[in-house]
Amino acid sequence: MAGVIWSSTHQAVVVLDIEGTTTPISFVSDVLFPYAYNNVHKHLVSTFDSPETQRDIQLLRDQVMQDLAEQGSSPGATPIPPENVSSKEDVIDAVVANVKCMIDADRKVPALKELQARKSSVTFGHIWRTGFTTGELKGQVFDDVPLALEQWQQSGTKTYIYSSGSREAQRMIFASTQHGDLRRFLCGFFDTSIGHKRDPQSYKEIFQFVGVDDPSLVTFATDVLEEAQAAKEAGLQAVILLRPGNKPLPADHTDFRTISSLASL
């Protein structure tokens, strides 16, 4: 975007959440998570000795130790023993128990999101990749999304995704939607490696990355009030999506514009 001068009246950048914004919440809770939940053990057995899987197990082991040290932060957390003192089967059983515990709790921890990102490993993203590759899984977006993305691209508006899911998982969803591959309309993907979605600093980092002159030229669309509040505190514009299946907004959401379709953005 170097060398581009944006008018102060031009909506230079749109940043979109996924779950509850571009994609029904039911897709994540009713399709992706159950698919991962039911395939964790199989993927562990088939990829256990790979360097990627071993790195992922260590990430999860570290996260579990942190959870156990912080009492009550993750009910059901189980220590994952090191391979040099336990059998492969015991390690697999402990990893499966913790991954399923995290899925049940809808954890948003960095270690779990990192586990989503690489091919042929043990949890979400690795399992999802297999599902998308075989055609067992297809991405899903609301019907207004493709048209909005295309219109923004034609008008010169840059569009990015910011989700708690890994960037790899985000790409998989948009690569295989019922409307085809939508990645051609997207300029990039942000995940929680840039910061928590309820932290204003995350949105300040996004503003610095996309390269416009003022944060008010960036509009963030989400279904979560706290995320909208964080974006607003960082100087961005923020709107809240009212989609089927989304949780009702609290009474103090009136500071934000609400829309039911990206066509209204």
Residue 5 has pLDDT above 70, yes or no: no
State the DSSP H helix or E strand holding residue 206, giving kind and residue range, or none if neither. Answer: helix 200-210
Residue 99 belongs to domain with CATH number = 1.10.720.60
Q: Of 107, 134, 161, which closes a domain?
A: 134
- DSSP E strands: which ranges in the chain? 13-16, 158-162, 188-190, 218-222, 237-241, 257-259
Summarize pLDDT for 131-148 with one digit per residue, the tens.
Answer: 888 888 999 999 999 999
Mean pLDDT of 61-66: 84
Q: Which amino acid is at 139?
A: G
Q: Would you tell me how many other CB atoms lie within 10 Å of the CB of residue 45?
A: 13
Overall pTM > 0.85: no
Q: Quickly list H helices, 108-199.
A: 110-115, 124-134, 144-155, 167-175
Take residue 15 and report the two structure tokens written for it.
């940043």
Same domain? 254 vs 154:
yes
Residue 176 and residue 125 share a domain: no
- Choosing from 99, 134, 169, the residue where a domain stops is 134
In a domain, 6, yes or no: no
Whether residue 195 sits in one domain with residue 65: no
CB 176 within 8 A of CB 138: yes
Which domain range does residue 122 map to? Answer: 28-134
The answer to whether the beta carbons of residues 258 and 239 sit under 8 Å apart is yes
98 assigned to some structural domain: yes
- pLDDT over 50 (residue 2): no
